[in-house]
């Protein structure tokens, strides 16, 4: 049984946006364009996988095995956001720097979904 969540649509929206940006700016450096396409493809894959039951079950098993890792997703999100801001600011907010930072949003979304799933598990118990 497939189940759609808010994160399913967020992964899909991120993939569509990254694909549109990569196709809309043909003058991007090839490495950056490839990075955007890879991130979009991984976002589409996460969108599909998040509809399958094993996705949530795997997150719950990971959480129960490593109960001390509850703070880890928060640390990852904080580190990535600070790193993205630092990187973009150090390159004077160029379009290439902003687009390179956007490709890290998938990791932030994955960690946010893990936080939501663990929050739901905690509220059930």
Are 109 and 14 in contact, with CB atoms under 8 Å apart?
yes
Output the pLDDT for position 2. Answer: 67
- This prediction's pTM: 0.87
Contacts of 40-44 with CB under 8 Å at 24 or more apart are 40/14, 40/15, 40/16, 41/15, 42/106, 43/11, 43/12, 43/14, 43/15, 43/18, 43/106, 43/109, 44/11, 44/12, 44/15
Output the pLDDT for position 67. Answer: 64
Output the pLDDT for position 109. Answer: 95
Domain ranges of the chain: 6-124
Q: Give the residues of the chain that fall short of pLDDT 50.
A: none
Output the pLDDT for position 125. Answer: 63
CA dihedral 39, 53, 73, 102 (to 10 degrees): 20
CA terminus-to-terminus distance, the chain: 24
């Amino acid at each position: 049984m497939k189940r759609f969540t808010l994160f399913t649509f967020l992964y899909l929206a991120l993939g569509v946006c990254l694909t549109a940006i990569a196709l809309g700016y043909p003058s991007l450096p090839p490495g950056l364009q490839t990075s955007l396409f890879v991130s979009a493809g991984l976002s589409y894959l996460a969108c599909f996988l998040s509809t399958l039951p094993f996705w949530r079950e795997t997150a719950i098993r990971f959480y129960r095995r490593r109960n001390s890792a509850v703070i880890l997703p928060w640390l990852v999100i904080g580190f990535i956001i600070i790193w993205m801001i630092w990187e973009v600011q150090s390159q004077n907010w160029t379009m290439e720097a902003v687009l390179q930072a956007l490709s890290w949003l998938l990791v932030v979304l994955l960690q946010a979904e893990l936080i939501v799933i663990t929050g739901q598990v905690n509220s059930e118990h």
